[in-house]
Amino acid sequence: MSDVVLSVRDLSVEFATEDGVVHAVDKVSYSVKRGETLAIVGESGSGKSVSSLAVMGLIRGNNAKVTGEVHFAGQELVGLDPEEVRKLRGLQMAMIFQDPLSALHPFYTIGQQLVEAVQVHEKVSDDEANARVETMLDRVGIASAKQRMDEYPHQLSGGMRQRVMIAMALINSPDLLIADEPTTALDVTVQAQILELLRDLQKEFGTAIVLITHDLGVVADMADDVMVMYGGQAVEQSPVRELFYQPQMPYTWGLLSSIPQMHASSLKLDPIPGTPPSLINLPKGCVFAPRCTYKDKVADGLCLSERPNLLAVTDTHAARCHMSVEQRADVRRERNIGKVN
Amino acid sequence: MFPYIIRRIMLMIFMLLLLSIVTFLLFNAVPTDPARLTCGKSCSPQIIEANRIRLGLDKPLPVQYVEWIKGIFVGRTYGSGTQTFDCHTPCLGYSFKNGEEVTVMIKQALPATIYLALGSFILWMVFGIASGIYAANRKGKWQDRTIMGITLVGYSLPVFLIGLMMLLFVIVRWNFLPYPDYVSPTVNPIQFLQTMILPWISLAILYAAYYTRLTRSQMLETMSEDYIRTARAKGLPENRVVRKHAFRAGLTPIVTSAGMDLAGLLGGAVITEYIFSLPGLGRLAIDAVKEYDLPTITATTLVAATFIIVANIVVDVLYAAIDPRVRLS
């Protein structure tokens, strides 16, 4: 299919540390199409940011090892000359980050930072670059863009800074935008504006977006497909509706039931007990088994002894769980998770 | 920006005032009679008293202080009637030991000190910053470890040891250079360079070691900042990321240290000046201490401390130039 912008297969990232090898990302596969959004969901340390940094070629250091395949712009990025990957960054793939204040350089003006993003990839005059920056700032909803270009990041509000980041990421019309928790550091009202802006720009430019988040509300709002990550692995992958209506994996259930419900009879949240696993000593069995309430439903302690594969439930839906599809459906009914038929 | 500088200048004036009072009191706190020190061992009480009156030491302390300060700004005349002596602006006092105005002595000593300080400053900044950035970019590799090892040695060696070793080997043993004999660069540039090169290097070794470590740690700190990741995500080449984004952000502490260290050296590098027989401020101050030359001690202290205070404000202004958050707040 020609409209697949990014295709990742069996991507793994390992870091050698003094305490042992950290398996930050373990054989993750996904693809994103032009104009569509893939949300990668998971808690801190689940490998969602690291996997995207690996795609961008931003995993550095001698102790890091990236394996697998990353097909992008007709090239295989894993193992490609870093200089070639650099040329793609900012031009064909771009990234925005969680905290726009720390992600913008405090000593350079907005204009300087955006003009630099233009001129690093294209030999254009200062005047032309400035004009393009102004147009782009205007496009992302920054009023009086010309004046703002002479201002420094600390003079702008949080929402405006993120708009600047988005403008900087999209100024060269990249095919792929990786948004790493783009709204986490923002006020709720500003969050909605930023998401709307991203959607609008996606429509206009046809950008493929990989959206990293832990906020399922954002997922429901933005995503076409979802990948749930836990302990460096993809534990469930599906189109967004299916994930909310027929979640297949106890960890996803946990995520869904830890969302505060506006109309719930009980005000108590239902958190997932325990903490994420250490990425150095991953459990031998299912990575989620130590926290899973349902591991006894599977015979022979299989959950603790054998790693489940990412198995297809439907053509588009896959999950990593030893329970049978019927057992999962029972639990969903019992706990009133998803869409109960 | 402007109010910020004004505020800094006001503070500087206040500091200078405070400083002048402290140095003045220091002069008077010495457990000897300043008038007694104006003449040799066989000194009659009449002469002592005459000198006391001539120098105004008989007056109350506040009056003496005001006269001293006034002397700095408008000059002063010692004595009265027919036996008067003019001390020209800025008058920092009169040294009986040397039979000379202190200001004249300081003016003579200043060039050697300035050349010494500036020369080694340039050397250590260039080498320190360059090797600091280089080491940071190769953190953990053998290049980094070698540089860190060398700087540890350089930083631990006392300056007198480095200076004496250089003097001993380069000049005395190997005769690579003639014995140090300071002349003004306008008189004999070759001899000037031959004299200054070793003092420059021996001071620079010490400071370069420190600035290498400082630059390295600053670079390592800023290289892990989010905006460096952004710069890379933009597709900037790595050397541009390092020079334009990381170094600029880590510059502030380096500028602070550089300003203070240069100012400190301008007040006189006592040991180095002594080892290499440079007629600078540090030497003047130590000679004055040895001879109990009170006006000279006070004046050199005042000059050295003034350098520090002025450097402080220069650094503050540079801060504002580097960091817009300072400038615009």
Residue A88: CATH number of its domain: 3.40.50.300
User: B17-21, B126-130, B272-276 — which one is most confidently predicted on average?
Assistant: B126-130
Quick one: A141 and A72 in the same domain? yes
Residues of chain B contacting A58 with CB distance shorter than 8 Å: 229, 232-233
Q: Do B230 and A120 touch (CB under 8 A)?
A: no
The whole-number average pLDDT for the span B16-39 is 81
Say whether residue B92 is in contact with chain A using an 8 A CB cutoff: no
Arithmetic mean of pLDDT over chain B: 89
Compute CA distances A181 → A217, B78, B146, whole Å.
Answer: 12, 77, 41
Distance between CA atoms of A154 and A110, rounded to whole angstroms? 10
Contact call for residues A92 and A72 (beta carbons, < 8 A): yes
Question: What are the percentages of helix, strand and coil residues in chain A, rounded to 5?
Answer: 35, 25, 40
Residues of chain A contacting B245 with CB distance shorter than 8 Å: 105
Entry field: residues in chain B: 329
- Minimum distance, in Å, between the CA of residue B235 and any CA atom of chain A: 5
Most A CBs within 10 A among B1, B228, B234, hence the mutation to make, goes to B234
Q: Pairing between strand A93-96 and A176-180?
A: parallel
Quick one: A17 and A136 in the same domain? yes
φ and ψ of A219, to 5 deg: -60, -50
Q: Which amino acid is at A312?
A: A
- Minimum distance, in Å, between the CA of residue B322 and any CA atom of chain A: 7
Distance between CA atoms of A156 and A180, rounded to whole angstroms? 21
Contact call for residues B234 and A120 (beta carbons, < 8 A): yes
Q: Do A104 and B236 touch (CB under 8 A)?
A: no
Q: How confident is the model at residue B181, as a pLDDT?
A: 87
Quick one: A170 and A291 in the same domain? no
φ and ψ of A7, to 5 deg: -130, 120
Quick one: A203 and A314 in the same domain? no
Q: Which residue of A has its CA nearest to B141?
A: A62
Residues of chain A contacting B238 with CB distance shorter than 8 Å: 86
- Give A64: exposed, middle or buried? Use CB within 10 Å, 0-12, 13-18, 19+: middle
Q: What residues pair up with A319 in beta bridges, in sequence order? A: A236, A311
Q: Which residue of B has its CA nearest to A117?
A: B234
Quick one: A236 and A224 in the same domain? no
Q: Do A116 and B324 touch (CB under 8 A)?
A: no
* Terminal CA-CA length for chain B: 8
Complex ipTM: 0.89
Contacts (Cβ under 8 Å, ≥6 apart) of A331 = A250, A253, A294, A297, A323, A337
Q: Report which of A179, A224, A205 is spatially closest to residue A52, judged by C-alpha positions.
A: A179
Quick one: A74 and A181 in the same domain? yes
Q: Report which of A257, A225, A221 is spatially closest to residue A332, judged by C-alpha positions.
A: A257
Say whether residue A105 is in contact with chain B using an 8 A CB cutoff: yes
Contact call for residues B102 and B94 (beta carbons, < 8 A): yes
Please check whether residue A257 lies inside any domain of the structure. yes
Reduce the DSSP state of residue A192 to 3 states and report it.
Answer: helix
Quick one: A314 and A252 in the same domain? yes
Q: End of a domain among A228, A251, A281?
A: A228
Instruction: Kindly give the confidence (pLDDT) of every residue in chain A, 341 residues in length, as a single tens digit, with 9 standing for 90 and above.
Output: 458 999 999 999 999 998 889 999 999 999 999 999 999 998 888 889 999 999 999 988 778 999 999 999 889 999 899 999 999 999 999 999 988 899 999 999 999 999 999 999 999 999 999 999 999 999 999 999 999 999 999 999 989 999 999 999 999 999 999 999 998 888 888 889 999 999 999 999 999 999 999 888 899 989 999 999 999 999 999 999 999 999 999 999 988 887 776 665 656 667 788 888 888 888 888 999 989 888 888 888 889 988 999 989 888 999 999 998 889 888 888 887 777 55
What residue ranges do the domains of chain B occupy? 32-91, 105-327
Please check whether residue A340 lies inside any domain of the structure. no
Q: Which residue of B has its CA nearest to A99?
A: B226
Q: Do A56 and B233 touch (CB under 8 A)?
A: yes
Q: Which amino acid is at A24?
A: A
Tell me, what DSSP letter sits at residue B280?
A: S
Tell me, what DSSP letter sits at residue A300?
A: G
Cis peptide preceding A308, ω within 30 of 0: no
Q: Do B235 and A56 touch (CB under 8 A)?
A: no
The whole-number average pLDDT for the span B130-151 is 93
φ and ψ of A317, to 5 deg: -120, 130
Q: Which amino acid is at A69?
A: E
Q: End of a domain among A170, A205, A228?
A: A228
Q: Do A106 and B325 touch (CB under 8 A)?
A: yes
Does the pLDDT at position B212 exceed 80?
yes
Residues B135/B141/B147/B149 CA torsion (nearest 10 deg): 140
Quick one: A195 and A51 in the same domain? yes
**Tokens standing for residue A178:** 């990786």
Quick one: A30 and A118 in the same domain? yes
Q: How confident is the model at residue B159, as a pLDDT?
A: 85
Q: How confident is the model at residue A1, as a pLDDT?
A: 46
The whole-number average pLDDT for the span B92-121 is 91
**In chain A, how many domains are there?**
2
Q: Report which of A2, A54, A4 is spatially closest to residue A225, judged by C-alpha positions.
A: A4
Please check whether residue A221 lies inside any domain of the structure. yes
Q: Which residue of A has its CA nearest to B326?
A: A107
Quick one: A119 and A222 in the same domain? yes
User: What string of DSSP letters covers B112-128?
Assistant: HHHHHHHHHHHHHHHHH
Contact call for residues A66 and A11 (beta carbons, < 8 A): yes
Distance between CA atoms of B62 and A329, rounded to whole angstroms? 95
| Helical H segments across chain A, by residue range | 48-56, 82-88, 100-103, 110-119, 126-139, 145-148, 158-170, 188-205, 216-222, 240-245, 250-257, 302-305, 325-335
Q: Which amino acid is at B120?
A: S
Q: Do A152 and B322 touch (CB under 8 A)?
A: no
Contact call for residues B179 and B171 (beta carbons, < 8 A): yes
Between residues 124 and 183 of chain A, which touch chain B (CB distance below 8 Å)? 152, 154-155, 165, 168-169
Q: Do B233 and A58 touch (CB under 8 A)?
A: yes
Please check whether residue A268 lies inside any domain of the structure. no
- What number of other Cβ atoms are within 10 A of residue B171's Cβ? 17
**Tokens standing for residue B136:** 């940071």
Between residues 32 and 91 of chain B, which touch chain A (CB distance below 8 Å)? none
Contacts (Cβ under 8 Å, ≥6 apart) of A249 = A228, A235, A236, A288, A319, A320, A321
Q: What residues pair up with A200 in beta bridges, in sequence order? A: none
Quick one: A32 and A117 in the same domain? yes
pLDDT band (50, 70, 90) for residue B26:
confident
Residues of chain A contacting B229 with CB distance shorter than 8 Å: 58, 97, 103
Residues of chain B contacting A155 with CB distance shorter than 8 Å: 328
Domain of residue A77 covers 4-228
Q: Do B230 and A165 touch (CB under 8 A)?
A: yes
Contact call for residues A224 and A295 (beta carbons, < 8 A): no
Say whether residue B328 is in contact with chain A using an 8 A CB cutoff: yes
Q: Do B235 and A89 touch (CB under 8 A)?
A: yes
Q: What is the pLDDT of residues B143-190, one digit of tens each?
A: 999 999 999 998 898 888 999 999 999 888 998 888 888 988 999 999
Contact call for residues A212 and A49 (beta carbons, < 8 A): yes
Q: Which amino acid is at B233?
A: A
At the top level of CATH, the class of B105-327 is mainly alpha
- Minimum distance, in Å, between the CA of residue B328 and any CA atom of chain A: 9
Between residues 214 and 253 of chain B, which touch chain A (CB distance below 8 Å)? 225-227, 229-238, 240, 245, 248-249
Q: Which residue of B has its CA nearest to A89?
A: B235
- Residue from the list B233, B238, B323 with its beta carbon closest to the beta carbon of A90: B233
In SS3 terms, B38-79 reads as: HCCCCCCHHHHHHHHHHCCCCCCHHHHHHHHHHHHHHCEEEC
- Residue from the list A89, A109, A152 with its beta carbon closest to the beta carbon of B234: A89
Please check whether residue A267 lies inside any domain of the structure. no
Q: What is the pLDDT of residues B224-268, one digit of tens each?
A: 999 999 999 999 999 999 999 999 999 989 999 999 999 999 988
Q: How confident is the model at residue A267, as a pLDDT?
A: 60
Distance between CA atoms of B293 and B105, rounded to whole angstroms? 12
Quick one: A238 and A224 in the same domain? no
Contacts (Cβ under 8 Å, ≥6 apart) of A322 = A286, A298, A302, A303, A306, A308
- Residue from the list A95, A102, A152 with its beta carbon closest to the beta carbon of B233: A95
Residues of chain B contacting A154 with CB distance shorter than 8 Å: 324-325, 328
Q: Do A154 and B325 touch (CB under 8 A)?
A: yes
Cα A272 to chain centroid distance, Å, stands at: 21
Say whether residue A184 is in contact with chain B using an 8 A CB cutoff: no
Radius of gyration of chain A (CA): 21
Q: Do B227 and A102 touch (CB under 8 A)?
A: yes
